[in-house]
Amino acid sequence: MSIRIRNPLALLFILFTLSGCVVPAPGSRPWLLEQNSGSALQELPAQLQNLVPATRQPGSPYYTPTPDAPRTLPTLRTNADQYVVRSGDYLALIASRYNLSVDTLIAANPGINANWLEIGQALNIPAPQPSAVSSDFKIIPDSELVYGPVSSALDISAFLDKHSGYLRDYTELVDDQSLTGAQIVQRVAYEYSVNPRLLLALLEFHSGWVSHSRPDSAYQNYPMGLMDAYRQGLYKQLAWTADTLNHAYYLWKNNSLSYVVLSDGSLVMLSPTINAGTAAVQYTLARLSTLSAYQTAVSSDGLYSVYQNFFGIPFDLAIEPLVPADLSQPGLLLPFESGSAWSFTGGPHGGWGVGSAWAALDFAPPGEAFGCVSSNAWVTAVADGLIVRSKDGAVVQDLDGDGLEQTGWTLLYMHIETRDRVNAGAYVKAGDRIGHPSCEGGYSNGTHLHFARRYNGEWIAADGNLPFNLGGWWSAGTGVEYDGTLTQNGLVVTAWDGRIAENQIKR
């Protein structure tokens, strides 16, 4: 929550009535909006004006958001354990499984040869020890992490032109296409449903790619600072970042994350009063930071400062709640034509990548062939709506009619073949043809449809509080990714990666 004061007398009243909920932002004085000459709100489309709180007057003080109600988070293991070395194990792998540094594991096992483990060897596993007090400084609201409503206000190319950095003139081959830096940022934003403003701020924080024309040569292949030979280049660095942000964001929302592990093996507990967006940023910064660097990175002098200088105070852009507690799914059909039996091949799993909420279900078309084969079966629209994107194997349908995939309910139909694929700008009715299932776009080892939902840019879990209802078929998970069921009037169809009687389903 942000509190905006227009009347000085109101400030005195609020300070007495809220007693402690209003705290000046860290630093010598409250942050002032006038410190930034450009705000995303200035370019906000008219249809979004009613979603965002009224802007504070220039020069009026900014007060930090009220802490969230404390969450009940998982507790750390407090007892020592033992581990028996198995084939394929190595010390760093074992240490990471137990959230320990390699040095800590070596110290707990005197005389161990760190470069040579023997199968059957028993290792002492000490309890993890947090290294520092957690930060409760809220960095961004949830709506600034996801590819949500206010994301539509950002023209990435114009923003990069304004800052004239290395990213403005950067190009890279992605899936055999030459893409500019702006196009890569945009692509990662819509694929993973992560705010491009956050991606740009993180790029600037780690490497200066946005505002510096000649960043340090060490960061030219690793602009996010992830020194991984398998993730060279802007697209792979940003994709890792977006997936990591999503991983922590949705774990936090599920009360399944309580600490971060730093690049030097240090462990820091997360504050139970931060929000999901902040937890995700802290988790991602931790992966790239030593303890001292991390403590700065998550403070008001770290990423927050970069973000504020680029885009204004992030909580001025907050849309809360991003997903209403009473949200209900509009009526949807199964995504294929009546009469033909498809295979339900994937229960709840990641909407995009492995980090996002388990927002997707998979369906494979009729036929005996396996693998990436051509299919003449049709994927069909599950509801009425506007097609706002149709490229790279993806078709995105907007159900609220405003033409923005960052607002309201949107549906992702993935792995749609280029042949006969519906065009962006088309308005389709429930049951209309979208295209043919294939392996195009993303990663796939067999022809199928990957189908997922978002609301205001947030992936909506298929095994959560708002499961899919596809013409009376309700989705459920088992706690194991890709496992799950669809149930209608007592009839249960079970997800299976193949073609068996138990996973056949018809509309």
Q: Is the pLDDT of residue 342 over 90?
A: yes
Which of 50-64, 89-103, 179-193 bottoms out in mean pLDDT, i.e. has the lowest?
Answer: 50-64
Fold entry, domain 81-126: Membrane-bound Lytic Murein Transglycosylase D; Chain A (3.10.350)
| pLDDT at residue 178 in the model | 98
Report, as an integer, the average pLDDT of 402-426.
Answer: 97
Report, as an integer, the average pLDDT of 357-375.
Answer: 94
pLDDT band at 37 (very low <50, low <70, confident <90, very high): very low
| pLDDT at residue 76 in the model | 87
For residue range 159-185, list pLDDT tens digits in order. Answer: 999 999 999 999 999 999 999 999 999
End-to-end CA distance of the chain: 45
Radius of gyration of the chain (CA): 24
Q: Exposed e or buried b for every residue in 14-36, given b needs 16+ CB within 10 A?
A: eeeeeeeebeebeeeeebebeee
pLDDT band at 23 (very low <50, low <70, confident <90, very high): very low
Beta-strand relationship, 267-269 and 130-132: parallel
Beta strands per DSSP E along 153-232: 171-174, 177-180
Q: Is the pLDDT of residue 4 over 90?
A: no
**What are 177's strand-pairing partners?**
174
Which of 98-102, 181-185, 265-269, 394-398 bottoms out in mean pLDDT, i.e. has the lowest?
Answer: 98-102
Give me the residue label for tokens 């389709």: 428
Report, as an integer, the average pLDDT of 340-354.
Answer: 97
Residue 196's SS3 state is helix
| pLDDT at residue 165 in the model | 97
Q: Is the pLDDT of residue 248 over 50?
A: yes
Which residue did the predictor score with more confidence, 79 or 478? 478
**Every domain of the chain and the residues it spans:** 81-126, 135-317, 342-505
Query: Distance of alpha carbon 95 from its chain centroid, rounded?
Result: 26
CB 185, CB 196: distance < 8 Å = yes
Q: Is the pLDDT of residue 22 over 70?
A: no
Gap between the Cα atoms of 99 and 26, Å rounded: 31
Which residue did the predictor score with more confidence, 261 or 7? 261
**Mean predicted lDDT score pLDDT of the chain:** 89
For residue range 261-312, list pLDDT tens digits in order. Answer: 898 888 999 999 999 999 999 999 999 999 999 999 999 999 999 999 999 9
Q: Is the pLDDT of residue 5 over 80?
A: no
pLDDT band at 58 (very low <50, low <70, confident <90, very high): low
| pLDDT at residue 419 in the model | 98
CB 429, CB 384: distance < 8 Å = yes
pLDDT band at 6 (very low <50, low <70, confident <90, very high): very low
Gap between the Cα atoms of 149 and 139, Å rounded: 19
CATH of domain 342-505: 2.70.70.10
| pLDDT at residue 62 in the model | 76
| pLDDT at residue 104 in the model | 86
Give me the residue label for tokens 């005197």: 110
For residue range 475-486, list pLDDT tens digits in order. Answer: 999 999 999 999
| pLDDT at residue 266 in the model | 85
pLDDT band at 44 (very low <50, low <70, confident <90, very high): low
Dihedral of the alpha carbons of 220, 226, 229, 231, in degrees to the nearest 10: -90
Residue 491's SS3 state is strand
Secondary element (H or E) of residue 17? helix 8-18
Give me the residue label for tokens 């996801």: 146
Q: Is the pLDDT of residue 57 over 80?
A: no
| pLDDT at residue 13 in the model | 29
Global confidence as pTM? 0.87
Residue 414's SS3 state is strand
| pLDDT at residue 203 in the model | 98
